[in-house]
Amino acid sequence: MELVTLFAVLLAIVTASLLVHRRHSSKYSGLPLPPSPSASIPWIRHAFQIPTERPWLTYKSWSDIYGDILSFEAFGKRYVILGSLKATMDLLERRSSNYSDRPEVPMLNDLSGWDFQFGFQKYGTRWRTERRLFHQFMNVNQVAQYRPKQLQHARALANHLLEHPDQWQGHCRLMLGVTIMDALYGIQVTERDDKYIRKAEVAFEAFNESAQPTAYLVNTFPWLKYVPSWFPGAHFKRQAAAWKKVVDEFVNWPFQHVKEATRNGSSRPCVALSLLDKVADQPEVDIQTQETTIKNCCMIESQSSSCFHKTVSALSTFFLAMAMHPEIVRIAWKELDSVLDGQRLPAFNDQERLPYITAICKEVMRWQTPSPLAAVHSSIADDVYEGYFLPKGTMFFGNAWAILHDPEVYPEPHEFKPERFLKDGKLDPTIQDPNVAAFGFGRRICPGRWFSGQALFITVATVLAVFDIKAPVDEAGHPKKLKASMTTGVISYPEPFECDVVPRSESAKKLIREGINDTD
């Protein structure tokens, strides 16, 4: 065991009684905590039972035993898993004033440079100010302004797939990165090895790993952030320092590009420019403070799990699902051909006549939801729910995967079945929309969900209009059997798999080449 780990355990044993004393002194101390798995080690409790791989699956199995609200404890910290939509809505939505805080995540905010990210900020004035600014450009009405750019880049994706179909995953990442950099900063990116794209990918690696509250001991024992980086066992400090350099550059480079372009007259319309213009018209405000707020909000839009990486994950799942289910591809073709007649590529105004395509998008978000264990919440005050005592400072996770695999709501939940969302050839409004859980809960719900939904629809529709997506064949010419196996992280992706992306016909190739210059 690393030396830092030993120090952490010793400190836990010394201080655990102080940490739990507060619970016994509460006016609710006579009530039980939510049920939990058995734990025989005092103070350490469930620390060694916390799953490190695909925790949402273990938590689902625990919920099947202990109920929709269960808890466990590690080194004096209490965690609660909400395993049903009712429990999640009752607490994180209906009592959101108490459950909208975030716990300390030092590896993310203090060490890796993600303190600008309001998604993991403590609930308070700064969080409200930056989220309000963010919402101005990403609410359900405003996101329509980004459709022309999303359409343009979805068609560019089709052209990239035509030229290099084996690189489909990289093309999807590039397409989404290009769209966001264009909309937010007016930056035109053409290559995947562009410096902004490279920085984005490394920065998100830092986010996805360091944002997991139980992944690093420093997130359990914040005092470890003061350990010198040369100290034995302090590899996490050296890793965080390398990440912070990249994250700082990633935050500042695009914003400085916009300011420089404004000075030399080469700026293009974008969100950052609009916000800077507003500040320029208000000479009485603190320009530096306002610019920092603008820079943070634009960067959050471009990199937060709210849009970019959830959409990348969803598109990877889409390719996997289509390769596994050729019969679904054929049904999608039939619907697309009835609307487009093979004469053009789809556009946003076709969506009402493409319910099956929309159903595919919904099923992608449900079947392997990109954020299966929604971002952690923390409580501000003691509370009681269903007769259980919930201490102040408890960490709460809404198990989105469990909610979206409830067999009472979604029969055969492990099967990919877009038709579950349809009735008589139309979208069935009585079927629970996966967005109730796929983008988080309460006041901390992902604010980029509308942007993400638009990007997913137009990309799925465009790709299926002109391509077939198939499982590769073995030496005997038989399709290889693919399976859905997902990675662990704040954002979960399908593990690497192969698929063949093939143009449907020569006329489809022609549409792709013509469509790249036609985005009306």
Residues 427 and 356: their CA atoms lie apart, in Å, by 8
Of 464 and 212, the structure prediction assigns the larger pLDDT to 464
Residue 15 has pLDDT above 70, yes or no: no
What count of Cα atoms within 13 Å lies in the side-chain half-sphere of residue 365? 26
Give the residue among 314, 399, 406 at the shortest CA–CA distance from 360: 314
Residues 153 and 331: their CA atoms lie apart, in Å, by 25
Indicate the annotated binding residues: 446
Of 451 and 120, the structure prediction assigns the larger pLDDT to 451
Residues 458 and 446: their CA atoms lie apart, in Å, by 20
Indicate the annotated binding residues for heme: 446
Report for 19-23, 196-200, 217-221, 356-360: range of highest mean pLDDT: 356-360
Residue 336 has pLDDT above 50, yes or no: yes
Residue 470, strand partner residues = 500
Residues 248 and 120: their CA atoms lie apart, in Å, by 17
Confidence category of residue 18, pLDDT binned at 50, 70, 90: very low
Q: What is the DSSP letter of 410?
A: S
What average pLDDT score do residues 195-224 get? 77
Contact (CB, 8 A) for 76 and 85: no
Contact (CB, 8 A) for 420 and 431: yes
SS3 content of the chain, % helix, strand, coil (to 5): 55, 10, 35
Residue 19 has pLDDT above 70, yes or no: no
Residues 18 and 31: their CA atoms lie apart, in Å, by 19
- What are 24-49's pLDDT values in tens digits? 456 776 899 999 988 767 667 777 77
Residues 292 and 118: their CA atoms lie apart, in Å, by 13
- What are 79-88's pLDDT values in tens digits? 999 999 999 9
Q: What is the b/e burial string over 467-487, where b = at least 16 CB atoms within 10 angstroms of the residue's CB?
A: bbbbbeeeeeeeeeebeeebe
Which helix (H) or strand (E) is 501 found in, with range?
A: strand 500-503
3-state class (DSSP) for residue 120: helix
* Beta-sheet pairing, 467-470 with 500-503: antiparallel
- What are 216-243's pLDDT values in tens digits? 888 778 888 888 888 888 888 998 888 8
Query: In the chain, pLDDT over 90 holds for what percent of residues?
Result: 46
Residues 270 and 190: their CA atoms lie apart, in Å, by 17
Amino acid 179 reads T
Beta strands in 278-366 (DSSP E): none
Residue 127 has pLDDT above 90, yes or no: no
Residues 308 and 178: their CA atoms lie apart, in Å, by 11
Residue 171, strand partner residues = none
pLDDT at position 43 is 65
Indicate left, alpha or beta for 342 from its phi (over 0: left) and psi (-120 to 50: alpha).
left
Q: What is the DSSP letter of 335?
A: H
Give the residue among 394, 384, 395, 392 at the shortest CA–CA distance from 32: 384
- What are 269-282's pLDDT values in tens digits? 888 888 787 766 66
pLDDT at position 184 is 81
H, E, C per residue of 380-420? CCCEEECCEEECCCCEEEECHHHHCCCCCCCCCCCCCCHHH
Give the residue among 301, 240, 248 at the shortest CA–CA distance from 110: 240
Confidence category of residue 16, pLDDT binned at 50, 70, 90: very low
What count of Cα atoms within 13 Å lies in the side-chain half-sphere of residue 224? 30
Question: Where are the domains positioned within the chain?
Answer: 3-113+376-398
Residue 386, strand partner residues = none
